[in-house]
Amino acid sequence: MDPSTSVRNSGNGAEAKGIELRFIQPGKPAQNAYVERFNRTVRQEWLNLTIFESITHARETATQWLWRYNAERPNTAIGGITPYQKLAMVT
């Protein structure tokens, strides 16, 4: 299956929910830089360091990692504070 069309044809329900999907041009990851950077962080700080014993284990470690990412890990792109701290400042 061509990855560039798999989401478009997957019947993911976005259209039924009124969500407009916008796609970047193939081969242009800079058009989606924030997501690409997050994906790199996920790979470097979680996926590459974890051997999963089961789907349940993968889910549990993903939840733990995401909590650390949002609540404990300072983010230099937002001034060295956590995303939760930044969110508290704007709400």
Q: Confirm whether 17 is domain-assigned.
A: yes
Which pTM was predicted? Answer: 0.68
Domain that holds residue 79: 46-91
Do 53 and 21 lie in a common domain?
A: no
Do 50 and 12 lie in a common domain?
A: no
The number of distinct structural domains making up the chain is 2
User: How do residues 8-18 score in pLDDT, each as one tens digit?
Assistant: 555 568 888 88
DSSP string, 28-84: -GGGGHHHHHHHHHHHHHTGGG---SSHHHHHHHHHHHHHIIIIIS-BGGGTSB-HH
| pLDDT for the residue numbered 46 | 96
Do 52 and 90 lie in a common domain?
A: yes
User: How do residues 46-60 score in pLDDT, each as one tens digit?
Assistant: 999 999 999 999 999
Do 25 and 4 lie in a common domain?
A: yes
Q: Confirm whether 67 is domain-assigned.
A: yes
Do 51 and 87 lie in a common domain?
A: yes
Q: Which residue numbers in the chain have pLDDT < 70?
A: 1-12
